[in-house]
Amino acid sequence: MASFSLDQTEIRACYQALSKQLEQEISELEPALIDIRRTLHKNPEVSGEEKQTSQFICKTLRDDGLTPQLMQNDIGVIADVTLGTPAPDAPLIAIRADIDALRITDQKEVDYCSHNPGVGHLCGHDAHTSIALGAALGSRRFTEIFESEWPGQGLRLRFIFQPAEEICMGARWMVEQGAMENVAAIIGLHMDPEIAAGTANIRYGVMTAFCDEVHFEIHGLGAHAARPHHGNDPITTAAQLISSLYQNLPRSIDSRMPAVFTIGQITSGQAPNVIPEIAVLKGSLRSTNDHARDVLHRRIDDIAEGIAKSTGTRIETLFKSPLPAVVNDTTISAALEQASRDVLGSEQVGLIDQPSMGGEDFSIYLQTTPGSMLRLGCAKPGQKTAFLHSPYFDIDERALALGSRILLQTALLLSLNPQLIKKGS
């Protein structure tokens, strides 16, 4: 565990008193958080279309006396909360939740199953939103303890409810609209169905992969299927290209550096008896190291050029939608770990040894501001696990209140120790 301590006796006492109060307040909110999560789960919206979800978030916050701001195109929400009397230079701590759903049919047999055909909250974003709402509502309920027992102490929070995480665009939209202005640190979490509710894992350093979409457009020469010598088959070239990429890319970088390349889409032709003019391949490149990523980019270009030359075709290669890795800041991660241990118990908190090969646009916020993301267990005891993006994915809803407490206590730790954020790691 990284070092994270409250140096002053008074600050430690403040943290412990507020933590105890927070436990009580969030416990009382737990039934409401479950209702919020189930309402969201029944009414999922895909990336870029989260208007009703954003309105629901705004109403929930307004009903508790907060003043949320609806973002451009009526999707996405931010809300600032000031508790107590923070110093003029007190850090502004952001808590981020993603709000979009997936184009997957929810096949669970529960009364809160999706009511939107073909769309489902099957990555846990409804839980993330509920947890952040719980943190916002819970924080409001211990304002008085700051004012009565800890004058001169306070907490500045910004809640970011971000759309379009699944298409890796929402974080960019929020940053462009000023959501990160004056933010000193940002924290978030993600549901993890591979560990039980009541547990959490933290990763120091690189947590997720660099992600690139890779598109290939192969130009051949169309012909009759019975006379391939009259043309130049781009599908044959596509098969060679895929085989060559799969064979050579893993051997292009240090085998100790995780990286994976996958073709996920092939489009070509209109009829079974016609050799088409064009074949289009779309794939995903994941890497965890800047150097490895650069090497793989060059190798992909080289392999495509070589295949094009040997087959007499023309191959256009395009790298799209680059997404940086989530690199967790050491100081912020230590605060998340400490808060998790305080809420869950030390034995319930572990360290993640290897980065995930998945992508997460939380990384966009980290380009200018230190932050960290936690993996929060949500598996139900005694039940077969349904993983993220499964049509049967669900959570143990006990994770909701625990997540709200962890995020708020992390923000409290950072606010009471602002010099650690400024110092960084």
Does 58 count as an annotated binding residue? no
Is 389 among the annotated ligand-binding positions?
Answer: yes
For the chain, count helices (H), then strands (E).
11, 16
Nearest 10 degrees: CA dihedral of 357, 353, 193, 344? -140
Q: Residues near 228 by Cβ (< 8 Å), separated by ≥ 6? A: 275
- Residue 291, annotated as binding a ligand: no
The residue among 319, 288, 313 whose CA lies nearest residue 301 is 319
Residue 44: which residues within 8 A CB-CB, separation 6 or more? Answer: 53, 101, 102, 106, 114, 116, 119, 120, 121, 126
- Cβ atoms within 10 Å of 368's Cβ, excluding its own: 11
How distant is the alpha carbon of residue 111 from its chain centre?
27
Question: Could you tell me which of 78, 81, 61 has the C-alpha nearest to residue 69?
Answer: 78
Instruction: Please tell me whether 229 is known to bind a ligand.
Output: no
Q: Tell me which residue of 199, 207, 192 sits closest to 341, measured CA to CA.
A: 199
Q: How far apart are CA 107 and CA 195, in angstroms?
A: 22
Residue 51 sits at the vertex; the CA angle it makes with 50 and 54, to the nearest 5 degrees, is: 85
Spatial separation of the C-alpha atoms in residues 404 and 134, rounded to whole Å: 5
Is residue 190 part of an annotated ligand binding site?
Answer: yes
Other C-beta atoms closer than 10 Å to the C-beta of 97 total 26
- List the structure tokens of 292: 């490895």
Annotated binding site for Mn(2+): 123, 125, 166, 190, 389
Residue ranges of the annotated binding site are 123, 125, 166, 190, 389
